[in-house]
Structures are given as structure tokens and as C-alpha cells.
Amino acid sequence: MSAETKAWVRAEQKRGKAAARLPVLLGAGQVALGIGQAWCAAYLLAAVLHLAQRGLLVALYATGFIAFAALRAAAGMQAERLGFERGAAARRRLRNTVLSTILALGPVGLRGKHSGELAATAVDRVEAMEGLHARWIPATALAVIGPALVGLVVLWVDWRAGAVLLGAGLLVPFAMAVAGIGAGVAAKRQFIALTRLQTRFLDRIRGISTIVLAGRAADEANALAAAARELRQRTMRVLRVAFLSSTALDLAAAAALVIIVLRFAGPLRHDHALAPTALFVLLLVPEFFAPLRAFSAVYADRMAAEAVADAFCALPAPPAQVPAAEIRSVAANGLTLAFEDVSFTWDRARGPVLEHLSFRAASGEILLLTGASGAGKSTVMDLILGFIAPDSGRVTINSVDLPELVPAARTKMLAWIGQKPMIFAGTIEENIRFARPEAAGEEVAEAIRNAQLSELIDALPEGIKTPLGEGGFGLSGGQAQRIAIARAFLKDAPLLLLDEPTAHLDPAVEREVLESIKRLATGRTVIMATHSAIAVEFARNSGAKRLDLDSLRHARKREVLA
Amino acid sequence: MSPVSRIFLLWRRQKGWMLLGAALFVAALAAGLALMGASGRYIALSLLGGGVLVPAVLQYIGAARVVLRYLERVFTHEATFRALAGLRIWLFTGLARSAAGGLGYRRAGDALARLVNDVDALDGLFLRIFLPLLGAVLLTPVLAVLLWRAQPWALVVLLPFGFVAFYLPVLAARAAGQNGVRAGLAMSGLRSAALDALSGLREVKIYAAEGRMLAAVQAREAAYLAAQRELAGQTSALNALAYFVAQAGLLLAMLIGLAGAPVFAVIVVFVLITVFETVLGLPRAGLLYGQARAAAARVVQAATSPPQVPEPATPAPMPAGNAIAFEHVSFRYADDLPFVFENLSLQLPAGSRTAILGPSGAGKSTIAALLLKLVAPLRGQIRLGTADLAALPSEAVRHRIAYLGQTTHLFADTIRNNLLLGDPVASEEKLWAALEAAQLAQTIMSLPEGLDTWLGEGGQNLSGGQGRRLALARTLLSEAPILLLDEPCAGLDADTETEFMKVLNTATQGRTVLLIAHRLTGAEQLDRIWRLTGGMLMAAAG
């Protein structure tokens, strides 16, 4: 575990400790009530042995015993519920942090991270943090407070027995450490190995069709069995040592009990009045060791948290807040986009993607962006979208520098259609309204008509309320693209960015989709990046200007060579 | 048979370990009872001024208990690990055999992944449910005899015992069972909301939907936490009730003891302390059982569902030839669904290169599924060489047909192990030759750890194009004479796609190739191109 991860876990623990005061107090209360119960039980047992007065006092102590038991049950229930609430609060907080960070970073900040992997952090890894907050943190505090409380009471009623108990209590961590020094370290490694095996199994199950279709199911089953066997053998080697720490607890408890019995056996022969005290102390022995047992039982919760901590630390820091520039927006009627001498480099080793690029797309113009993969088409898009900032030069909208615009105003000005639109789990209507949730019903209907989705929607029994996404109606590539077009219609932004909008469509569908795009483009400033010959031809017919990033680059090379 | 018993039945192979674990558990419990009984007796006697020496028997029982507890922990865990490993292999083998191979093929990988969580939910079945229950059942007669001997009406203490040991667990199981469905639904809602927000980041930013997406995830989270909170509330109430009733039982025993033989009464109270300690965990076990039962049902159902295409009872020998012929094949996925195609015929001569094009949903992938024996024709026949595909064992067919599909998975493993899936005994040279053919050798060679580079989940560390080429290298490694490529370029940009197709042309020389795609890049070298629309194959101009 790296120093950074350790620090993160420590910070989480510190945060958790602050929130755990009430449950720890309740836990201490439970111990105190347990002491009260033992006091009552000791008197009752003495009465059974005819060593204490019977009669009214018995009734009194019996009432006390049951009342303490009821209070202790209630305190336990409350502590459990509070534990859950703290676990829930921690999960809410962590999930909010993870998601807000990712959402703020946007797609560019997370390059190379699989969305499934990010979702695993936001969902499963956050869940794995529950135990640390709900159980481990209060248990660590109580493992000290509980025995100390019991030990002090015993010390008070009989200092010799108290000394024995506290001595055993101090020996316990020592014995546990001796048994667990190797085991503790190894157990952590083991926990990681176990997590790996689970991941491996999960991965093999996810890819089971690949294995089956390669005809390798039997081989892979054998490999899984061998991996499980090896892990079991290693785990058991660790557990055999680790269980010794539980055994140390058992031994300490038994030894303390025997010594205390011996301590009282002599004096009791002469002094029967000592009987309730002796019984009280004996009944407190298990009470003394219970918080220690509870502590070792939740150790796995801490390890679970440590195992997932890396993923949280690996998240990039959220982007710095944009310095409070003068708040500006631009009039939305007519929009001119310009690049002035823009250069950008993703990776220094590979050289700049854009060098001194300048162009202008005036209001109502279509600018066709062509060039091979890697020529910088997507970089141009990302610059306009504000996901990245130019290394030098300016990107302007109506002569205003992009970073000077309030982000909300900038987003309002542009619509974007990519290769494959994201279809969210939700109805067709919700998916279209995604562009502008507050839109009126009539506006949505118009967007649907304009995107030529009416025919599809009318044919569906649930119409506009048909669910899409996982488990919902499966849209074809062209239909999904029409949803994206409807979104853009609904948003009605003056600047339209089209990033290979037809790359995944077959030619017949491509032509139809381009027709809808043509209608969408009317009256807007359009930047369209494409490879497709059909799309290029289509844009030409619509009077587009063309900017070929490849020939621009070659020209620059020639210039440099000349 | 209930799914839980089905799983226990499955564990009979670990019978020896489980019996040993259970025997040690019972022995440790008995030693605990004996120790407490003997201690109670000794304490009572010494309080009454009796024996002063710690009886030797107490030392022996004490030592035995410590040792037995240790052995019990070791052997019950050993048994659990063995049982769980067995269960996983059983699930894997069952899934591979059943329709799930085809399910994964139809992109239901996540549904399968949830099954893995279900297996993990079963790990407490032996240790935390079966053993405590066994303890409670065995304790009942022991306790009854002891109480009877104290005084007959002390038997009334059996009531709180039974309440805690048997009644509360049933309540807990019921609560957990009902809650489990809700919590499960809420969890998958949360998961898909998170996945939605994260895979649509671009759209989310562009449409300024960060706040909305976050709110959607948090709403699902709140629903999930509400379900959990309800269960936590019920559980904590049951635990509190169990504790209180157990304490009431102890009080009852003490009050009854006032009227009986003093020493024996103390023995009973001390034994009862251990007894209640043992059964206090049972309501929680009931809760676990409620969760495990649903998980067991899903696991058993998934692992035992019959294969979509039954294996031939007496498989025919594999034919020599590799020509493929679809003869008047009709197929639909279910009786109430329309035919994907009717009366479809297609010839793929050995060594020929054919493409089938068509929009998504036209049934292109169904042709692949039929060839791979994931589904079987309703009418008509598919022939491989001279044999009817239906008469051939599916594993042998799949060794003859190397498949590269859009969902072909890259495993979180080394590059080497990913490649070896294509041919487990391939030599180092052969691996490099395949990488060379897929034009990936340069890239891999430049990695510091070369073939032993670890690939992240889903093949991270490689770009999309590199990942597809690695999958191609794996496909090429298998010496199968037939290559079936189903949208091998899904998710690649146009240039990478063209590049990939060029690689494919040279790498697949001499094999029968069937390429399934929604469109061509123009770089493919093909003998024949078909277009599949409306269930009909039509020759398409190149």
C-alpha cells in the first residue's frame, strides 16, 4: 500500500471517529448496563446459594436485572441503527465526491479510464467502505473503553482481582501481536490475493462466451480450480497463525477466570459476606473480554476498506475552479466561431496535433473538417467544447475568448452530435428532454417531428413513453442518431458540432440521417468533422467550406522545409 | 428440491471436511458446556466453603476447549474454502454448458457478473447458518434433560430458548427474503444510473446535465439505502429482542433456582449463559439464510438451465471437408417471435472469402450463432463438409471455427495468457508469428514486460484498435480452418477499421472466411458479398 493510500485511509478514519462519538457513548453505556446486570445477577446467585438475604431484596435485584437488560437491548438496537446511518452517510459522501469529481473532469480528464471501471468505484468500492465507518471505527474505540471501564469497576470492588484482569487485558494485545505480527501482514496480502481471485473469477464469467466459443471451457475450469486450490492453501497457512490470536483471547479469559476463582476461594471460607462480590467479579470476566472479541471480528472490515482505497486515490483531483473572470455572455442571434493561431499538444513525445491553426466559421456557415485519424479533428471539437484549452492562440465566439464566457452561457450556445449517441435508461421522451428538461410538451413534439422520429414512435405501443436503454427497446444506429438530432433540435443552439455523425451507419440510413441533419443545420453555424464520402458530398452540396487538416499540415511542412 | 439443499448436495464431495468441521464444532460446544457446568459447580462449592483445589478435570476441560476451538476454526474454514471453490467451478461449468454461453454472446455480461456476487453471498451457508443451527438442535435435548433434573417446572426455560433459537431466525429470514428483492432491484437501479452518467460524460457535459445526473444517481442511492435501512431496523430490533429474551431466560432460571438445590441451580445458570451465547447469533443466521436462499435460487437456476442446443446422443465423427452449406434454414428465437429468416440457403466453399452485410437486427449475428451451435435451425440443415452440424459435438465444431465477435473479451491477465486461449500449447515463436500477422508485434515488443504485460479489466492499457488486433491474433493462433468474424471492428474509428481489414486480408490467407458487418470499408478482399435484408440473402455488388 502506498503512503498516499495509507494517508487516505487515515483521513477517512479520522473523519469517521468524529462522527462516531454518539455510538461509542452508547457502546460504553451498554458496558455500564452490563456491569449493572452482573451486580444484580451476583446478588441473585448469592441468594440462590443462601449466602444473601432473600425476600424483598431478591425482587428488587430481579427487577433491576431485567430493567438493565431491557435498557441494554435498547441501547444495542440504537447503536446498530446509528452504525448503519454512519455507514450510509459515509457512502453518500464518498459517492458524491467520486461522481462530482468525474463529472467535473469530463471525458478528457479521464482518458483511458473505462466507464465500467469508474462505475465500479462509484458503486461497489463505495459500498466496501461501509464496514470501516459503521463497525470498525466504533469497535476500535470500544476495545479500549469497554475493558477499561470493567477493569476500573473490578479494581474498585477488589483491587487484586482488578489487577489480574487488567494484567490479562494488557497481555492480550501483546499475545495477539506475537501471534499476529506475521499473520497481520500476511493476512493483508492474502486479502488482496482473495480479491484478485474474485476478480479473476468475475472476469472469466464476464468473458465466458469467448471461452466457450474458443472451445476452452474445460481447460479454463481446471485453471480456475487450480487457482482456487493454491489460494486456499496459502490462505489456510495464514489463518492457522491468525486464529492463534483468537486462541490467545480464549486462553487469557480462561486464565483470568481461574486466577480470580483462586483468589476468592481462600477468604470466602471465613467470610461468606464476600460471596456477592466474588460472583460479581466472576460475571464481569466475560464482559471484560467481549469488546476485544468484537474488535477482532470486524478486522475484515478494515481490510476491505484498505483493499479499495487505491481506486479512490487514483482518481485525478477535480479541476481547479475557473478564476472568476468578468462574467460575459454573447448575444445568441448569429454566432461566429474563430480559431486564431491555435496550437495544441496532447503528448510531447508525439509532437503537436495542431500548429498555428486559424479559421473562421461565420454565422450560418457550414465548415467541413476533414483529415485522417490523428489529424486533430477531435482535438478541434474538444477545444470548442471547452474540454481542453489551447497551448497558445485563442478560440473565440463572436470575438470573445472562450474561457471568458460563463460556462453555463457557453454550454447554452452549442449542440453536439457524435458517432454514437448515448442512450440513457429512460423513456424516449426523457432521452430527448435530456437536452432541455424544462421544454414544453409542444416543443418536444416539434423536435420529434423535425428529427423524423414520428413514424417510429407512432409504431410503438407505448409511443413516446417507450423505455430505452438496458432492458428497453433496442434502437438501431440510425434511430439512435435521430434521438441525438431531436436533442439538438430541442436545444436550439446557434452552434452545431457534428463529430463523424454517420460513421456507424450503412449508406442508405446515412443519407436519411444526413437529410435530417441538413434541416437541423439551417440557420446555425455548423462544424462537421467526417470521413465519409457521402457526408463530404452532402456538405459540399449544402455549400460548405472545407478545411483539410492533413493538407494544412503538409503545407506547413513544406513551408518549414523551404 | 430447494436450491439451498441442492447446494448442500453439491458439497457432498467435501463431505469429509464438513463432517470433521461439524464434529469439532460440536465437541468444542460440548467442552464449553462442560467447562461452564464444572466451573459453576466449583464456584458454588467454594462459595459454600467446599473444595479449594481446582479440580484436575476443570483444567483438562479448559485446555481441551481452547484446543478444540482452535481446531474447529481451522477445519470449518478449510471446509468452507473447499466448498466455495467447488461451487464456483460448478457454476462456471454449468454456465458454459447452458444457454449462458449464448447469453454472454448477446451482451448480458453484467447479468452474469451479478451471479458472482450471489456465489459470494453463499459463503456463510455452512459456517454461519448450518453449524449454529446444528448447535441449537443438539442443545435442545441436553438442555431439557438438565432442566428436568434440576426441577421439572424449570423446563419452562425452554420457552425463551426456543424463541431465540428457532422462532426469531424464521422471522429474520422472512424479513430478509422480502427485503432482498427490493434491495436487489434498487442496487441494479443505482448501478445502471451510475453507468449511464459515466458512459455518457460527453453528452452530460454538453447538455449541462451534471447536476441532473448526480441527482438521478443520488435518488437511486436513496432508494437503495432506504431498503437497507428498513432491514437494518428490523434486524436491530430482532437482535435486541433476542438479547432481552435470553436475559429473561437467565433471570427465570435464577428465580427458579431459589426453590431448588442451590449448587445444581448455579450449574444450570452457568450452562445457560453458554447456551444463550451460542444461540444469540441465530437470528442473524436467519437473516443470512433469507439472503442466501434467493442467491442460491439464482445460482442453481443459472448453472442447471439446459443447453439451448442439446448435444447429439451419439456424435458423428468430424468430417474431413470444411465447406459450409445452409440448406433451407428457418429460424426464430421463440414461438411468439417472427422468423429471423425462412428458407435461407448459403454456400461457403472451403477457402472462400464471403461477407454478409445488412443493417443491425437483420439477423446477421444469428447466422454466426447457428454456425457456432449456440442455436439450432427450426427447419432445414446446416452442413459442415459432409456432416450435419446437428450431429456433431459442439466443442469439436468450435475447434474447427475460430470466432472473433464484437463482444470478444480480453481477460484481465497477461498478454500471453490472453493469446494462449486460442491455442494453449502454442510456442513462443508461434505467439510472435500471430502477433506479427495481426501487426501488433512491434507494439508488444516495445512494452517493458513484453508478452507478460498485464492487461487491465476489459483489456485496458491497449487502445481500442490494439485490443481488437490482440483478439485477432488470438483468433489466428487457433489453427481452425474456418474464420468467423462478426463485426470485428465494432467501436473502432474508420481509419483503424480500414487498417484492421488490410491486416485481415494477409493474415487469413488460405482459410475459409465469413465476415459479418453492417458495411464494408473497401479494403476487404472478398470473393462474394451478400446483403441480408428481410430474411433474404441477395448478392450485392462489391
Q: Are residues B393 and B521 in the same domain?
A: yes
CATH (domain of B135): 1.20.1560.10
Rounded to a whole number, what is the largest CA-CA distance in chain A? 116
Q: Are residues B44 and B138 in the same domain?
A: yes
List b or e across A306-342, with b for residues whose CB sees 16 or more CB atoms inside 10 angstroms: bbbbebbeebeeeeeeeeeeeeebbeeeebbbbbbeb
Dihedral pair phi/psi, residue B314, rounded to 5°: -120, 95
In a domain, B310, yes or no: no
Q: Are residues B435 and B291 in the same domain?
A: no
ipTM for the assembly: 0.87
DSSP string across A362-401: -TT-EEEEE--TTSSHHHHHHHHHTSS--SEEEEEETTEE
Q: Are residues B97 and B153 in the same domain?
A: yes
Residue B341 near residue B331 (C-beta atoms within 8 A): yes
- Is the torsion defined by CA of B418, B423, B424, B429 positive or negative? negative
In a domain, B7, yes or no: yes
CA distance A444 to chain B (A): 16
Q: Tens of pLDDT along B405-453?
A: 877 788 878 899 889 888 888 899 999 988 888 888 888 888 888 888 8
Contacting residues of A for B257, CB less than 8 Å apart = 48
Residue A212 to residue B405: CA distance in whole angstroms: 13
Q: Looking up cell 471451457, which residue turns up?
A: A217
Q: Tens of pLDDT along B30-51?
A: 999 998 898 888 888 888 876 5
Q: What is the pLDDT of residue B106?
A: 39
Q: What is the pLDDT of residue B52?
A: 54
- Mean pLDDT across the stretch B501-530? 83
Q: Are residues B260 and B362 in the same domain?
A: no
Contacting residues of B for A408, CB less than 8 Å apart = 208
Residue A19 to residue A85: CA distance in whole angstroms: 10
Q: What is the pLDDT of residue A323?
A: 55
Q: What is the pLDDT of residue B234?
A: 93
The percentage of residues in chain B with a pLDDT greater than 70, rounded to a whole number, is 92
In a domain, B154, yes or no: yes
- Whether B302 has a pLDDT exceeding 70, the answer reads yes
Q: What is the pLDDT of residue B456?
A: 65
CA distance B245 to chain A (A): 9
Asked if B237 lies within 8 A of A202 by C-beta distance, the reply is no
Reported as type and span, the H/E element at residue A484 is helix A477-491
Write the residue in B113, B198, B217 that is nearest to A115 by C-beta.
B198
CATH (domain of B422): 3.40.50.300
- Mean pLDDT across the stretch B216-223? 94
Q: Are residues B237 and B292 in the same domain?
A: yes
Asked if A122 lies within 8 A of B254 by C-beta distance, the reply is no
Single-letter residue type at A158: D
Contacting residues of A for B212, CB less than 8 Å apart = 437
Q: What is the pLDDT of residue B325?
A: 93
- A3-314 belongs to which homologous superfamily? ABC transporter type 1, transmembrane domain (1.20.1560.10)
Q: Are residues B282 and B430 in the same domain?
A: no
Domain count, chain B: 2
Q: Tens of pLDDT along B226-245?
A: 999 999 999 999 999 999 99
Give the C-alpha distances (Å, rounded to integers) separating A46 from A281, A405, B35, B45, B205: 13, 83, 21, 12, 74
Contacting residues of A for B229, CB less than 8 Å apart = 84-85, 88
- Rounded to the nearest 5 percent, the helix, strand and coil shares of chain B are 65, 10, 25
Residue B39 belongs to what domain range?
A: 3-183+231-304
Q: Looking up cell 478564476, which residue turns up?
A: A323
CA distance B405 to chain A (A): 9
Q: Which of B205, B264, B373, B446 to mutate to test the interface with A (most CBs of A within 10 A)?
A: B205
Residue B518: name the closest of B540, B495, B496 by CA: B540
CA distance B116 to chain A (A): 6
Q: Tens of pLDDT along B112-144?
A: 666 777 887 788 888 889 999 999 999 999 999
Residue A398 to residue A394: CA distance in whole angstroms: 12
Q: What is the pLDDT of residue A119?
A: 81
R_g of chain A, CA atoms, integer Å: 35
Q: How far is CA B76 from the centre of its chain?
A: 22
In a domain, B430, yes or no: yes
Rama region for B491: left / alpha / beta (φ>0; ψ in -120 to 50; rest): left
In a domain, B298, yes or no: yes
Contacting residues of B for A233, CB less than 8 Å apart = none
Asked if B248 lies within 8 A of A66 by C-beta distance, the reply is yes
- Whether B29 has a pLDDT exceeding 60, the answer reads yes
Q: Are residues B237 and B366 in the same domain?
A: no
User: For chain A, what are the domain ranges?
Assistant: 3-314, 337-561
How does residue B458 score in pLDDT terms, banded at 50, 70 and 90?
A: low
Q: Are residues B343 and B256 in the same domain?
A: no
Ranges of chain A whose pLDDT falls below 70? 1, 110-114, 116, 175-196, 198, 320-333, 349-350, 373-374, 469-474, 504, 557-562
Q: What is the pLDDT of residue A175?
A: 63
Q: Helix or strand or coil: residue B528?
A: strand
Q: How far apart are the first and last CA of chain B?
A: 58
Can you name the CATH fold of A337-561? Rossmann fold (3.40.50)
Q: Helix or strand or coil: residue B380?
A: strand
Q: Tens of pLDDT along B259-297?
A: 888 889 999 999 999 999 989 989 999 998 988 888 888
Q: Are residues B278 and B356 in the same domain?
A: no
